[in-house]
Amino acid sequence: MRPLFRMIVPAFPGDNIFTRQAKRTTALGPILIATAANKLLGWRVEVVDENNCPGAPKDENGLLDHVALQKENPATAVGFYCGLTSTIPRVWDIADFYHRRGTFNIAGAWHAHYCPEETLQNDIDVVVHCDAEEAIRQILSGLGKENFLENIPGISFLQNGHFKTSAPKIDQVFGLDPNLSNLPFPDFGLLKYARIKLYPISRIKGCSGNCEFCSVKEKPRWASAEYLFETVKWLVETRKAKRFFLVDDSLKEDLAGATKFFNMVADRYGDRLDFSIQLWLKIAENTEFLQAIKGAGVRRVCIGVESPIDEDLRAMRKGYNSDKMLEWLKILQRYAKTHIMLIAGYPVKERDVFLSAEKIVKRFRRFIRKAHPDSVHVMLPGPGVGTDLRKRLKEEGKLFSEDVVSWRYYDGRFVLFRPDDNMSLQELQDLPLKIMSRFYHPLSFVRVVIKTIIFPLDFFIRGWKNWHRGWTREVVKSGGYLLMRKWKTRQQVDKFIEKLEDR
Ligand code: B12
Ligand code: SF4
């Protein structure tokens, strides 16, 4: 039997706003790498996603049972998706399990890229930096040969206990494949046990922005509009795919290409397909693009609004101030549902005005009320690995080190640094839930009932679209309220802040 390469997407450390979505989708990077590996003769390839594996064997903690997987179908090489820092402790646990069984362990994506030495000390044999489509094939073809890692570009490994790297830069991101249009389409058929309802797709890598809290530091590159259109068409034809999430951070890097892509979709499918996309707020000024997304069935736009406070926006280096935010959001709402993402309690080096936690809550709540989005996600500032924010907080002596706050807390819900004098640790920790508690309110349950009862009248007066959007918004708010209650209890049980205050 040919050897097996198993790619693993590790489980999130706890329930967060993405848990439900994760059960219907998967991470695109590991699928692309598995697709490239599967083109090699001599290897079998599979992907397992611990967040989406309803049909898989489970262990006593309800997690994917790797003992059973290895027994049934032993892997020779294992790949670990390390794109989200919060999942890294889980990677280390499984990597240890596989290493004891003699597998060759390979890690890739953001966390491993920025922290290769730490990764290699945790049962990983090689870290692949950035684009890994070519490197994975070279690693698997060389496996077992002497010094086979030596001439592979863009990797790090230990040689006789010494760190060796062929990556050009580790504090930056680089692209190894100059032509993204040449890459194969993602083969979701390699994913075992999962139910995929929402297909992640991508065309543009990198961003020309310079936000302080962001790890994406790659100069933008993109595949052609035709490449993405053909990907969609292929997924529709081979998998009956209907819903897509375009994961590109920054469509604005090639707005003409993005517009062309959506026009191609509209020509072929009208608005029958369902797309969610991420948008830069200022794109609201480009009517041609907005018309294209509407025509192609873009149902939902996710917008990193970040903050309604100008001082925060300046510190983040977001590239705009709050002046026209509401105006832009109103425009976008005419074209699609809006999901806005905000960061509360951003650490600003020097504040002109003293803003207490209470004032910040009020400012954010007022903004959300005026913006009237379809859904909201407020998170805490995340000094992720590789970000300038992390560097600054470290220099200012405010960052909690990894031995105080484990990587598992890096999911946007926990305090990771000492706040400025304007608030206590507990106040900072409470900001997101306090802000969101007005939007995700138990009254929404009542509103769902009322909206259901008045449906015939509302349908008659405002039409199906308006009624349905209002009704869905209240359903989402009710779900959000239940989720937030769950978090609150978890956080109390965790006594997270008490432990930090003791430091
Ligand atoms: C889509 C997305 C999500 C999705 C899905 C995430 C997922 N993949 O599971 C959702 C919405 C769930 C999400 C949530 C969050 N996200 Co997010 N997300 C992204 C985004 C925009 C795109 C990721 C993607 O699919 N890219 C396209 C693929 C093709 O690229 P890729 O994953 O890098 O894969 C390539 C290489 O890395 C490598 N590779 C990938 N896997 C493997 C595996 C092996 C073995 C090898 C060898 C190579 C390899 O090869 C691939 C192809 O070239 C990125 C930004 C970005 N540009 O990456 C942020 C990003 C990954 N997210 C980020 C963050 C901070 C979050 C949140 C914490 C946000 C929040 N505060 O709520 C949450 C995390 C929640 C949690 N549970 O921890 C940070 C990650 C920082 C970090 N180190 O953790 C990023 C980088 C954005 C940023 N601004 O910095 N996110
Ligand atoms: S947060 Fe978004 S806009 Fe800012 S640098 Fe990162 S990808 Fe670009």
**Boundaries of every domain in the chain:** 4-165, 197-439, 440-503
pLDDT of residue 435: 97
Query: Whose C-alpha lies nearest to ligand 1, atom 11?
Result: 18
pLDDT of residue 176: 62
- What class, spelled out in words, does domain 197-439 have in CATH? alpha beta
Ligand 1: nearest atom to the Cα of 7: 45
Query: Whose C-alpha lies nearest to ligand 2, atom 3?
Result: 209
Q: Per-residue DSSP letters for 250-300?
A: -GGGGHHHHHHHHHHHHHHHTT-SEEEEEE-GGGGG-HHHHHHHHHTTEEE
Query: Whose C-alpha lies nearest to ligand 1, atom 76?
Result: 411
Which residues, at least 6 apart from 489, have a Cβ–Cβ distance to it below 8 Å? none
pLDDT of residue 271: 95
User: What is the spatial distance between Cα 277 and Cα 266, in angstroms, rounded to a whole number?
Assistant: 15
- CA 451 to centroid of ligand 1, rounded, Å: 37
Query: Whose C-alpha lies nearest to ligand 2, atom 4?
Result: 211
Average pLDDT over residues 416-422: 90
pLDDT of residue 465: 87
Query: Whose C-alpha lies nearest to ligand 1, atom 71?
Result: 412
- CA 216 to centroid of ligand 1, rounded, Å: 10
**Residue to probe by mutation, ligand 2, list 204, 213, 214, 251, most atoms within 8 Å of CB:** 214
CATH number, span 4-165: 3.40.50.280
pLDDT of residue 219: 86
Residue 18's pLDDT band, with cuts at 50, 70 and 90, is confident
Cβ atoms 415, 497 nearer than 8 A: yes
Taking only the tens place, the pLDDT of each residue in 154-209 is 999 999 999 999 988 777 666 666 688 988 999 999 999 999 999 999 999 999 99
Taking only the tens place, the pLDDT of each residue in 363-411 is 999 999 999 999 999 999 999 999 999 999 999 999 999 989 999 999 9
In SS3 terms, 173-206 reads as CCCCCCCHHHCCCCCHHHEECCCCCEEEECCEEC
Q: Over 90: is that where the pLDDT of 452 sits?
A: yes
pLDDT of residue 177: 64
Minimal CA–CA distance to 192: which of 332, 338, 72, 366?
Answer: 72
Name all residues whose Cβ lies below 6 A of ligand 1.
12, 16, 18, 27-30, 32-33, 79-81, 83-86, 106-111, 128, 131-133, 136, 200, 202, 214-216, 247, 249, 379, 382, 384-385, 410-412
Ligand 1: nearest atom to the Cα of 207: 57
Model pTM? Answer: 0.95
Residue 501's pLDDT band, with cuts at 50, 70 and 90, is confident
pLDDT of residue 493: 54
Query: Whose C-alpha lies nearest to ligand 1, atom 30?
Result: 29
- CA 111 to centroid of ligand 1, rounded, Å: 9
Ligand nearest to C-alpha 412: 1
